[in-house]
Structure 1
Amino acid sequence: MSKTKTSLNIKARTNAVGWSFIALAVLLICAFYFYPMIKALNLSFQSGTGTNLHYVGGHNYTRLFKDQTFLTALKNTFVFLIVQVPIMIVLALFISVLLNDSKLKLKGFFRTAIFLPAVTSLVAYSVIFKYLFGNDGLINTALMKLHLVGAPIQWITDPFWAKITIIIAITWRWTGYNMIFYLSALQNIDNSIYEAARIDGASAFRQFRQITIPLLKPIILFTSITSTIGTLQLFDEVMNITKGGPGNATTTLSQYIYNLSFKYTPDFGYAATVSYGVVILIVIFSIIQFKVAGDRNG
């Protein structure tokens, strides 16, 4: 019994020491993450103007399906997600393979240049894009001088071209960010695998399809999920380039949450409901991507 008690005491002290190291972190995570999440969930069942709130049960959630502005913002967000994320993932993967070539000169320069947009200020680059794609901006001026268009393209004020502008902006901003993940993964692949494939007569494309893609599968899944989450939370670019316009043609879910809280008559309860709508979408898309990727843990 004494040995048993001694081992239990040692285990208890070990656990106490372990918890002492992580106690502060756990406390901070609970205070700044889980508590606000629980409060927001509670808030999503309330409605009212400003802080004059009262419980309405699930009314806010049923209201979502009747709210045309929410449905428009949802559709716009899906458009950005379905179009931009695949383009960005494929482009980042393609660029990373090119920049991983041992024969390429100035690799460091090209890697830095492509990654630099990821460290620029979101507001600053959004404002720059707004001026670049203005009616008399550099893009329209160049296109007209090259005689590719006869009149300025309404990049900001036309619903279709405004979406294209946002897609170009976020692709420019985040492609280099995803490229870094692929580059680091590519550099961990043993070169002897490619040498064996070349000896067997495999073409460069076949090596890419049957070696590179399967070995990068976990990173592709990771970047797909993080890019999906980022796009579902898209706010800065839309807010600073188009302000959600023209009309609500580029309004996203995050911008709609902002408008409900600070632009329209404040309805924090309904804004919290829309926020949890975004959370539900993130969970759904993450599960789908895990299943599509065949991850057993998904």
Structure 2
Amino acid sequence: MESLSKHAVLKKNIKKNKTFYYMLAPYFLLFFFFTILPVIASMVLSFTHFNMLEWPSFAGWGNYLRLFLDDEIFMIALKNTLIFAVITGPLSYVLCLLFAWIINEFKGKLRAFLTLIFYAPSISGNAFMVWLIILSGDRYGYLNGMLMRWSLIFEPIQWLRDERFIMPVLILVQLWLSLGTGFLTFIAGLQTIDKSQYEAAAIDGVSNRWQELWYVTLPAMKPQLLFGAVIQITQSFAVADISLQLAGNPSVNYAGATIVTHLMDFGSGIRYEMGYASAIATVLFVLMLTTNKMVQKLLGRVGD
């Protein structure tokens, strides 16, 4: 009886709010066919051998065993991705929040101008060309030229061809590009906070800006904080363009290889090992999902 009553209530709510469901339907269909369905298909294909020319054949756990036991390049790519994510994810998240908090203190056109300046790198189509010029391995590269002019080095450094420098360079460029959607989300969230909350907090004993940030600002921005965390996690784990454009594929001793570049290597080009590529994608999906769950629990404690 209880299940029937719940079903009746659900049916009544759907009927009552059918207009909203109709409005959500186009987005839901797009999300289902271009996000949910491909993820499910990838998980299924990860248990097969599939070259796009023949019908998939069942492989069991073969792709995953090969991935973790026989594929040394994948282990390098996994290590690089984890290092990249652990450094750029939290750091870019904090930078987005910090810069948004500072810029929000300005008013009017100045705030809009500063927002544009910080957001511009993330939408610059030729951003990689700028860094290729700066990090050029000859004496005409801007960085080498300055260091040689200041007598800090005496011969050009191959920044993008020396495995010692590839990962630090990729991390630096990612941080420069990281003030994107999450940054704008924090700006918007800060502007929606009711100012009366700060007045009430002052009456309750909050006496400085850091206490305001922890006890008022962050709790009021939990939805934006969660969304920004998802964006930053996705960007840090799914890095590929930076490595491909700056370090090449393959990079020197795979120093710039990531899970996504490894996936692209097997899923396109001349390999087309779609079953194996799907196994790589599934591992990446599980890794990102687990990290998101951990971050959600952590953000749930903010302001408590």
TM-score (norm 2): 0.81
Query: Structure 1: any 5+ residue segments left out of the alignment?
Result: 1-9
Q: Structure 1 residue 129: deviation in Å? A: 1.5
- Identify if the C-alpha distance between structure 1 residues 104 and 210 changes in structure 2 by more than 3 Å, giving closer, same or farther: farther
Match of 2:75 among 71, 74, 77: 71
Q: Distance in 2 between matches of 1:270 and 1:191?
A: 53
Does the aligned pair in 2 maintain the 1:46–1:269 contact within 8 Å?
yes
How far does the alpha carbon of each residue in 1:80-109 deviate from its partner, in whole angstroms, 9 at most, with x for none?
100111221121222112211247983322
- Identify if the C-alpha distance between structure 1 residues 21 and 109 changes in structure 2 by more than 3 Å, giving closer, same or farther: closer
- Identify if the C-alpha distance between structure 1 residues 180 and 156 changes in structure 2 by more than 3 Å, giving closer, same or farther: same
Q: Summarize the alignment of residues 19-38 of structure 1 with structure 2, pairs less than 5 Å apart.
A: 25-38=27-40
Q: Structure 1 residue 198: deviation in Å? A: 6.2
Q: Summarize the alignment of residues 107-122 of structure 1 with structure 2, pairs less than 5 Å apart.
A: 107-121=111-125
Q: Structure 1 residue 148: deviation in Å? A: 4.2
- Identify if the C-alpha distance between structure 1 residues 98 and 257 changes in structure 2 by more than 3 Å, giving closer, same or farther: same
Q: Distance in 2 between matches of 1:209 and 1:192?
A: 16
- Identify if the C-alpha distance between structure 1 residues 293 and 242 changes in structure 2 by more than 3 Å, giving closer, same or farther: same
- Identify if the C-alpha distance between structure 1 residues 90 and 34 changes in structure 2 by more than 3 Å, giving closer, same or farther: closer
Provide the aligned length of Structure 1 versus Structure 2: 285
Does the aligned pair in 2 maintain the 1:45–1:269 contact within 8 Å?
yes
Q: Percent identity?
A: 26
Does the aligned pair in 2 maintain the 1:126–1:236 contact within 8 Å?
no
Match of 1:232 among 237, 247, 272: 237
Amino acid at match of 2:189: A
Corresponding residue for 1:221? 226
Amino acid at match of 2:286: I
Does the aligned pair in 2 maintain the 1:242–1:250 contact within 8 Å?
yes
After superposition, the CA RMSD in angstroms is 3.1
State which drifts further: 218-227 or 22-31: 22-31
Q: Structure 1 residue 166: deviation in Å? A: 1.0
Does the aligned pair in 1 maintain the 2:119–2:180 contact within 8 Å?
yes
Q: Distance in 2 between matches of 1:178 and 1:160?
A: 30
Q: Structure 1 residue 241: deviation in Å? A: 0.8
Q: Structure 1 residue 22: deviation in Å? A: 5.5
Query: Structure 2: any 5+ residue segments left out of the alignment?
Result: 1-11
Q: Summarize the alignment of residues 1-298 of structure 1 with structure 2, pairs less than 5 Å apart.
A: 25-47=27-49, 49=51, 51-52=53-54, 53-66=56-69, 67-102=71-106, 106-121=110-125, 124-136=126-138, 137-194=141-198, 202-244=207-249, 245-263=251-269, 265-294=271-300
Q: Structure 1 residue 60: deviation in Å? A: 0.8
Q: Structure 1 residue 232: deviation in Å? A: 1.4
Corresponding residue for 2:6? none
Any idea what SS the aligned residue of 1:247 has?
helix
Does the aligned pair in 1 maintain the 2:206–2:212 contact within 8 Å?
no
